[in-house]
Amino acid sequence: MERTAMKRTGFLGLLLLLAGGCGGAMAQITDEVPEFRTLEVTEGAVLRIGLLDTDSVSGHQIRIERNKAGFGRSPWIQFDDNSRTLSVAGMEATLLLNPGDKGLRHIRVDKSAILEGSLMAPVSVPDLDVRVSGNAVAKLYYEVGNLSVTATQSASFQGYGKGAIQSQYLRCDGGAYISSMHMDTTPVLRCVAAGMGIIDTRESPARVSYDTLYGSASVTVNAEEIHPVIRGNGLIFNTRDYGEPGNDSLVARVRVVSSPMQEDSSRGPIPLKDFLKGEADEEDVWNYYDDLEKDWDKGKPIYIEDLFFIGNKPRPRPRFRGQWMGFEVGFPMWGSTYGMNTQMPEGYENLDLDFQRTVSIGWNVFQVSVGFGTPHWGFLTGAGFLWENYFFSYPNTILERKDHRLVPVLDTDPERRYIKSKLGVSYFRIPLLFEYTNARGVFRSVHVSAGVIPSVLMTSWTRQVYREDGDWNHEKHKGNYYVNPFRLDAVVYAGWSFFNVYFRYTPTHFFRAGKVTDITPFGFGVLFGLH
């Protein structure tokens, strides 16, 4: 590829530019190039378009304002005499055009580059072909007779036109986005969208619009006459006389056959409910347009895959996912008079608990979440296990069975020095909970659930630890301590992300009726959820 006289000054300037960029300084150079027909912006370059103050200067002028390339990259400006192509890569620059020049025909923007036009410096040529690809962004002001735009690979193009224009040919594919805003009526508008592509020409009125959609694409037009063809899944809106895309402006709907769709436009508007597939609803359509406009206003590339839910194979909406599976660590308590008094009645003082040592461990093995047609509300169940250790305030408490009753007594053997005494129980349980979640993802969800957890007793045991004759002794006895075999806990969970807190109250008594004084468990703790 040959280079013009700009090569010598440009090469020296770029060396200074690289040195200035690495040192944090700003370097500027100016070069002139001959008239070109093709403009290429590539490799992360940022190019702005302006006009020279006078049309007496021949050719074009490039003013490099700042090098944004990192160390080790090679920004460059290059001109090819044979193809009359000017290429800008890896830098931030300003292109000043001669207002009288009409030679520009093609614009290429790719590899995450950005091209920014100016309202005060529209590109004024007879015909213009623009191609944007590879996550690139192009915003262009123009005065052209015929405009052709192709956007692919999640690229974005937004054009602002004025003056008489004879035709627009807009092609979009691969999650790309095209927006055309032209004040005067276009006699012929052709739109081809495929592969989740989006074309929006509602601000560009047309007499006749030929619209072809492949895959799950969308086209919005403002035309007097529409000729739609859909192969696959897609939407065509006509906002003329309706304003915004909606129920009244939908003229062609999703089809899975390969045949023209003229009959749809003759039938008039079709309600959204007739074409929505899977779990998509009308809110998805409105959110899609709102997000599209917000991202474009912020100068962001548009990734339609994250916004569009319509089609024969729709992207699944967030489903309801409850939060119960995981590990629990709690602090159980019990009290008499339905838990209102933690002090045991007369004759049962030996059952007072050491609340600082009493602990419960829960392993919620799995869960099943059932949504109510929304990702926010649902019912969940599953299965898990619970172990509780109730430590007595008197470490020499012994539980004995006498006359079919449970009697707590104190071991007063002077040879024994008791360290601790506890009653342990284990349960198998099945939750029955209703839950609300804001459904904003695993790491941002806020959820509240309430319900009951029925439990079945698996085993109960007592354990004492004491010293006797200088030796440590551990006594563990499994057996029937008249613990209620069935238990029903009323629970409330609340949490954010994986962390939850809970409160539990057990209206069913801990021990079987008539075997010991009525004792009601309750407690609180934390749940570390797993998905």
494, pLDDT greater than 60: yes
**Mean of the pLDDT values across residues 66-89?**
72
DSSP string for residues in 245-286:
SSGGGEEE----SEEE-HHHHHH----GGGT--TT--HHHHH
Q: Which domain holds residue 366?
A: 326-529
The rounded mean pLDDT for the chain is 79
Task: Provide the pLDDT confidence category of residue 159 given band limits of 50, 70 and 90.
Answer: very high
In a domain, 441, yes or no: yes
Question: What tokens does 480 get?
Answer: 């029937």
Q: Are residues 296 and 335 in the same domain?
A: no
Chain segment 97-139, per-residue pLDDT in tens: 877 778 889 999 998 899 999 888 888 899 999 999 988 999 9
Q: Are residues 8 and 46 in the same domain?
A: yes
Pairing between β-strand 223-238 and β-strand 206-221 as defined by DSSP bridges: parallel
Give CA separation, 525 vs 6, 49, 355, 426, in Å: 74, 63, 13, 17
Residue type, 486: F
Tell me, what's the pLDDT at 23?
36
- Higher-confidence residue: 240 or 41? 41
- Higher-confidence residue: 173 or 290? 173
Q: Are residues 165 and 267 in the same domain?
A: yes
**What is the distance of C-alpha 305 from the center of its chain?**
11
Question: What tokens does 127 get?
Answer: 């015909």
Chain segment 413-471, per-residue pLDDT in tens: 888 999 999 999 999 999 999 999 887 666 668 899 999 999 999 999 999 999 998 89
Last residue of one domain, picked from the residues 298, 317, 336: 317
Give CA separation, 180 vs 4, 167, 176, 459, in Å: 36, 12, 14, 73
In a domain, 137, yes or no: no
Longest dimension (CA), the chain: 117
Task: Provide the pLDDT confidence category of residue 228 given band limits of 50, 70 and 90.
Answer: confident
Residue in the structure block whose two tokens are 């035709």? 167
Say whether 11 sits in a helix, a strand or coil: helix
Length of the chain: 531
In whole angstroms, give the CA distance from residue 13 to residue 352. 86
In a domain, 71, yes or no: yes
Q: Are residues 283 and 416 in the same domain?
A: no
Say whether 10 sits in a helix, a strand or coil: helix
**Residue among 330, 329, 326, 284 nearest 306 (CA):** 284
In a domain, 29, yes or no: yes
Q: Are residues 242 and 378 in the same domain?
A: no
Chain segment 317-334, per-residue pLDDT in tens: 567 888 899 999 999 999
**Residue among 468, 465, 464, 466 nearest 415 (CA):** 468
Chain segment 381-409, per-residue pLDDT in tens: 999 999 999 999 999 999 988 888 999 99
**Mean of the pLDDT values across residues 1-9?**
38
In a domain, 130, yes or no: no
DSSP string for residues in 287-316:
HHHHHHHHHHHTTPPP-GGGT---SSSPPP
In a domain, 63, yes or no: yes
In whole angstroms, give the CA distance from residue 73 to residue 108. 21
In a domain, 8, yes or no: yes
In a domain, 219, yes or no: yes
Q: Are residues 303 and 338 in the same domain?
A: no
Residue type, 81: D
Instruction: Please list, residue by residue across 237-248, b when 16 or more beta carbons sit within 10 angstroms of its beta carbon and e when fewer do.
Output: bbbbebeebbeb
Last residue of one domain, picked from the residues 317, 345, 367: 317
Q: Are residues 80 and 206 in the same domain?
A: no
Q: Are residues 342 and 312 in the same domain?
A: no
Contact 387, 424 (CB under 8 A): yes
Question: What tokens does 104 get?
Answer: 């520009």
In whole angstroms, give the CA distance from residue 513 to residue 515. 6
Q: Are residues 434 and 519 in the same domain?
A: yes
Chain segment 39-59, per-residue pLDDT in tens: 999 988 899 888 877 655 555
**Residue among 124, 121, 64, 106 nearest 89 (CA):** 64
Q: Are residues 172 and 233 in the same domain?
A: yes
Residue 247 backbone phi and psi in degrees, to 5: -60, -40
Q: What residue ranges in 28-101 does DSSP mark as E strands?
A: 29-33, 38-42, 46-51, 60-66, 76-80, 85-89, 92-97
For the CA atoms of the chain, what is the radius of gyration? 37
Question: What tokens does 128 get?
Answer: 């213009």
Residue type, 95: L
Q: Are residues 311 and 334 in the same domain?
A: no
State the total domains in the chain. Answer: 3
Q: Are residues 477 and 340 in the same domain?
A: yes
